[in-house]
Structure 1
Amino acid sequence: MITINLLPKRFKRRADIERINLSIVAMLILLFVIVGLTIELLFATKKFLNANIETLESQQQAYEDFFTSDVNKDINDKIVKTNQLAIQVGKIQAGRTSWSELLTELAIVTPPEIKLTDIQSNILNKSITISGRAETRDRLLDYSKSLESSDYFASVDLPSSYLSSPTDISFEIKANLSLATSSAGD
């Protein structure tokens, strides 16, 4: 293959340099256009965000005005009082005795030979006094032991003066309640 060189080397080198310079200028122009568009996009984003911030601030102020109004102060005060009452009710319920369970247990451990005449409770001391009549001393002692073995009663006190008679005994038993609380309803 034959190459014909119509341009001298000096002009050829100059044409190559011009072509490179033209490419560099084109890349710089493209770079400036991209930077300009990016700056414009950032300014538009800033303007949009500032507008949204102003809207949010005005909404926040409206909410603050609404929640600090007299009507809402009354509602908030009522909510606080209701919450305090709920806490107090919870404390009361936590310390309550389940009388249904207690009376059911008392009925279970009471044999037919024991007739109960009175049941008194002292809620503050968590104690109970059981009065009644027993047919025999042995049945009364068994009943006292049954109460003591129950999960619901502790420190069962049957005075020895009730054990002097062998039959037809009127008695009064005192016991502490060991059933602290119950979450089930009565």
Structure 2
Amino acid sequence: MTDLETIKKKVSTKPAISGGANFETHVLSQTRYGFKFKPSLGYALFTLLFVGVAYAFLYAGIASYLKTKTFEFLFSIVTVAGAAFFIAGNFLLLSYFSPIVFNTHSNRFYRGFNKQNPKKSTALSNIVALQIIGETISGENGNYKSFELNLVLKDATRMNVVDHGKLKTIIIDAEVLSQYFNLPIWHAQS
């Protein structure tokens, strides 16, 4: 049995990250030194909606206070809701607008702003395969499918690249990366 077959038997076929979106969150684009995933227009609008609601609530709360000069119950509710949307919106901005990069110049894959974080980066030479996994998510309005693109590393661990609801796009992105980096694609049963 080859090393690749041994790794394939060891690697998990469960989603690396539970949950996911039911729409396309990222788009693959080629760069001067490899590839990067950028947030999709739909995800950018979703994130900006959170931030917009946060500012609207905070503005309403502050305007209410300035008008009445008292801390009313409505002021408290509006301000707390605005703060919650503000925190969630900024978390979405930071986490989904952070870089997801395959850089051939530095020989690194990294996710996030710290290119050397061992939990979110690896040498490109450490990647042995690309893995696609689907899962069904139960939501308030029914079930939907979400799909992951993961990197499989030499030690049979995985590193998540993207997670979104467009299987066709995940497959196309995996094929582009597979051809460029000469990596097999493993479709996991899920």
Same fold (TM over 0.5): no
TM-score (norm 2): 0.22
Q: Which has the higher strand share?
A: 2
Q: Which has the higher helix share?
A: 1
Larger radius of gyration: 1
Higher relative contact order (CA 8 A, sep 6+): 2
